[in-house]
């Protein structure tokens, strides 16, 4: 008994000694961290006042030497100061905020009972996933509970676990949803707020969401903001309630705003030649890893489906915001592990994502501004590696875009395309559209999406939708003609100024014959005049089932989000027939009314007939009762 008591006393004493030692170690770290000026010359992570658990995680992940943003930003963040960090893409900004998060919470002995201690907000799901993966690597020895809260996952499962999290990595929309709907989610004790790609989070796209989030968070917190293009806007900083923030701009005085190891060029190509240039580029760079940026999800989908059929000789993938979360993560990981591949994507992949060993970044569509350009090309030449960037511009975009890039200190040179290496794929695309309604449907959507994206751009010096050759562009996608787009005509009218009332807006209207105007074509007529009637896509079948007065585009394009931009083809309504009485309606010839109206007339007749009678219809649609002999 005496021995057992003695052993218990020894265990208690050992625990007390360990606690005292840990407390002393934490106090020592706290004291060292409060003097960031002592670590201005530190080059290794081991030279910083970090806990052994964090050092183990860094060693395990093979992080040893600090980058410039880490040398300047981490000591200030460890001293619990608000930091605004700006550095070139691929310079190691993620560790600049993850290490302080782990260290500060550990020094405060944070546990599950204390609730949410750190909140890390990312503009995209993919970037949030990447941050969470790095956090798991370097924080493996710590005992904090960490969670990833993004859209595309089961909301109820997240609700059950969110109240037990110490560190949350999330996107703005999903976080606000939990703030509104998750009862047990408490953030009153928040110690740190981190905004990755801060300029994107604080811009107009997330403004209302971020305002609502910031109103809920306590003001007595530490805030860290990191991006490749940082904001100094007084309004943004006031919204965040920053206290004497330290501005860390590593490359602010540098000659160029992009990495030295990045080779940057641009090519001037006509709009209808862009896909030829892209396909020729891929065919001549089969042993490279390439990211191609497009302006819309619909373009990415069309180019992906078309190029898969063309079989360029290298794996082709696509990544955009309309895909489900599981699919996006699967493609992200597949491209990351690939040695040679082409990724067609929208600006969803432009910020923060770290794809290893990317050789080329090709921008098929001009970026909206110079900042977007910098983030796009930042997917290559990361961590002092070599990289290449190619920007393809149409002639009307060149002057304005080069001026924007010059203001941002982006060195870029023009190169010419070797015509001997260029291949035309227009005939193949035309063949695909003729044989497959699905491809034709995607081509029409891609056409409208691109024209709309150019029309909606703010910088009209760079983007002029009236300067684009619409017909030639449609032909390059494999279409027989350009779908009519309402906003293009409006823009052309404005640029032409006031005109005589007698003048028509287009030559096509003058060329319409009276005979064609008299014939009313319904969507059913259009469908049955098509070739390959036995090959109908799901989308086209939906259009056939559509009941309404609006006529779809030739070829069957009709989509809710494109509805405002498409013109309705003229329909000549038979006014006399509409004004006629019910008796006269019975004598209307079937050839003068639409098949849909004829069908509706049949239905009304059937409803009003007595039950038990059998009826047949003649070729003109008139009903006749069947006379049956009684047995």
For 262-424, CATH gives 3.40.50.300
86 to 238, 247, 349, 369, 553: CA distances (angstroms): 18, 8, 19, 18, 48
Angle of helix 274-283 relative to helix 426-435, nearest 10 degrees? 110
Q: Is 64 left (phi over 0), alpha (psi -120 to 50) or beta?
A: alpha
Q: Which CATH architecture best describes the domain 34-249?
A: 3-Layer(aba) Sandwich (3.40)
Determine the pLDDT at residue 1.
61
More confident residue, 419 or 115: 115
| Whole-angstrom distance, CA of residue 556 vs CA of residue 120 | 45
Domain ranges across the chain:
1-28, 34-249, 262-424, 427-502+519-565, 575-625
| Whole-angstrom distance, CA of residue 501 vs CA of residue 505 | 10
Mean residue pLDDT across the chain: 82
Three-state secondary structure call for residue 194: strand
Q: Judging by DSSP bridges, how do beta strands 222-227 and 262-268 pair with one another?
A: unpaired
| pLDDT over 80 at 455, yes or no | yes
pTM of the predicted protein model: 0.66
Q: Judging by DSSP bridges, how do beta strands 623-625 and 146-149 pair with one another?
A: unpaired
Which pLDDT tens digit goes with each residue over 270-289? 999 999 999 999 999 999 99
- Least confident span in 4-18, 83-97, 191-205, 333-347: 4-18
Determine the pLDDT at residue 217.
94
């Amino acid at each position: 008994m005496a021995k057992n008591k003695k052993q218990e006393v020894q265990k208690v004493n050992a625990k007390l000694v360990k606690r005292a030692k840990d407390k002393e170690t934490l106090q020592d770290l706290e004291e060292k961290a409060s003097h960031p000026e002592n670590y201005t010359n530190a080059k290794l992570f081991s030279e910083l006042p970090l806990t052994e658990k964090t050092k183990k995680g860094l060693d395990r992940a093979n992080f040893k030497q600090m980058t410039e943003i880490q040398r300047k930003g981490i000591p200030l963040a460890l001293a619990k100061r608000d930091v605004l960090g700006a550095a070139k893409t691929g310079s190691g900004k993620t560790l600049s905020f993850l290490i302080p998060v782990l260290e500060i919470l550990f020094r405060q002995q944070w546990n599950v009972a204390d609730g949410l201690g750190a909140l890390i907000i990312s503009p995209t799901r993919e970037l949030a996933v990447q941050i969470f993966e790095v956090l798991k690597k370097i924080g493996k020895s710590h005992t904090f509970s960490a969670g990833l809260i993004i859209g595309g996952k089961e909301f109820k499962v997240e609700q059950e676990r969110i109240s037990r999290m110490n560190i949350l990595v999330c996107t703005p929309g999903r976080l606000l949803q939990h703030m509104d709907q998750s009862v047990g989610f408490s953030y009153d004790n928040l110690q740190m707020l981190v905004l990755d790609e801060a300029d994107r989070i604080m811009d107009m796209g997330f403004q209302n969401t971020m305002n609502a989030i910031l109103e809920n968070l306590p003001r007595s917190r530490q805030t860290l903001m990191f991006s490749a293009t940082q904001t100094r806007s007084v309004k943004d900083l006031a919204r965040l309630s920053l206290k004497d923030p330290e501005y860390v701009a590593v490359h602010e005085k540098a000659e160029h705003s992009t990495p030295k190891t990045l080779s940057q060029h641009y090519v001037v190509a006509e709009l209808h030649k862009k896909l030829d240039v892209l396909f020729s580029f891929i065919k001549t760079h089969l042993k490279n890893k390439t990211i191609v940026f497009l302006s819309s999800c619909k373009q990415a989908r069309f180019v992906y489906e078309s190029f898969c059929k063309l079989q360029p000789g290298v794996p082709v993938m696509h990544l955009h915001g309309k895909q489900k979360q599981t699919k996006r993560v699967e493609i992200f990981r597949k491209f990351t592990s690939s040695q040679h591949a082409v990724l067609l994507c929208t600006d969803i992949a432009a910020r923060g994502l770290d794809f290893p060993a990317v050789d080329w970044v090709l921008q098929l569509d001009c970026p909206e501004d110079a900042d977007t350009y910098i983030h796009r090309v930042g997917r290559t030449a990361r961590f002092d590696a070599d990289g290449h960037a190619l920007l393809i511009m149409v002639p009307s975009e060149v002057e304005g875009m080069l001026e924007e890039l010059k203001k941002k200190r982006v060195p870029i040179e023009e190169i010419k395309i070797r015509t001997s290496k260029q291949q035309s794929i227009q005939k193949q695309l035309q063949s695909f559209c003729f044989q497959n309604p699905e491809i034709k449907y995607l081509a029409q959507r891609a056409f409208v999406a691109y024209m709309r994206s150019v029309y909606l751009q703010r910088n009209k010096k760079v983007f002029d939708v009236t300067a684009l050759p619409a017909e030639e562009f449609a032909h390059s996608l494999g279409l027989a003609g350009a779908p009519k787009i309402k906003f293009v005509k409006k823009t052309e009218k404005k640029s032409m100024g006031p005109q005589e009332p007698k003048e028509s807006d287009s030559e096509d209207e003058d060329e319409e014959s009276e005979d064609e105007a008299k014939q009313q074509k319904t969507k059913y007529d259009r469908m049955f005049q098509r070739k390959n009637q036995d090959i109908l896509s799901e989308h086209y079948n939906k259009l056939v089932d559509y009941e309404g007065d609006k006529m779809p585009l030739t070829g069957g394009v009709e989509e809710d989000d494109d509805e405002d931009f498409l013109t309705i083809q003229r329909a000549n309504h038979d006014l006399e027939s509409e004004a006629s009485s019910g008796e006269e309606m019975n004598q209307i010839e079937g050839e003068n009314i639409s098949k849909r109206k004829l069908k509706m007339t049949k239905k009304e007749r059937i409803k009003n007939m007595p039950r038990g009678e059998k009826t047949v219809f003649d070729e003109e649609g008139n009903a006749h009762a069947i006379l049956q002999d009684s047995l």
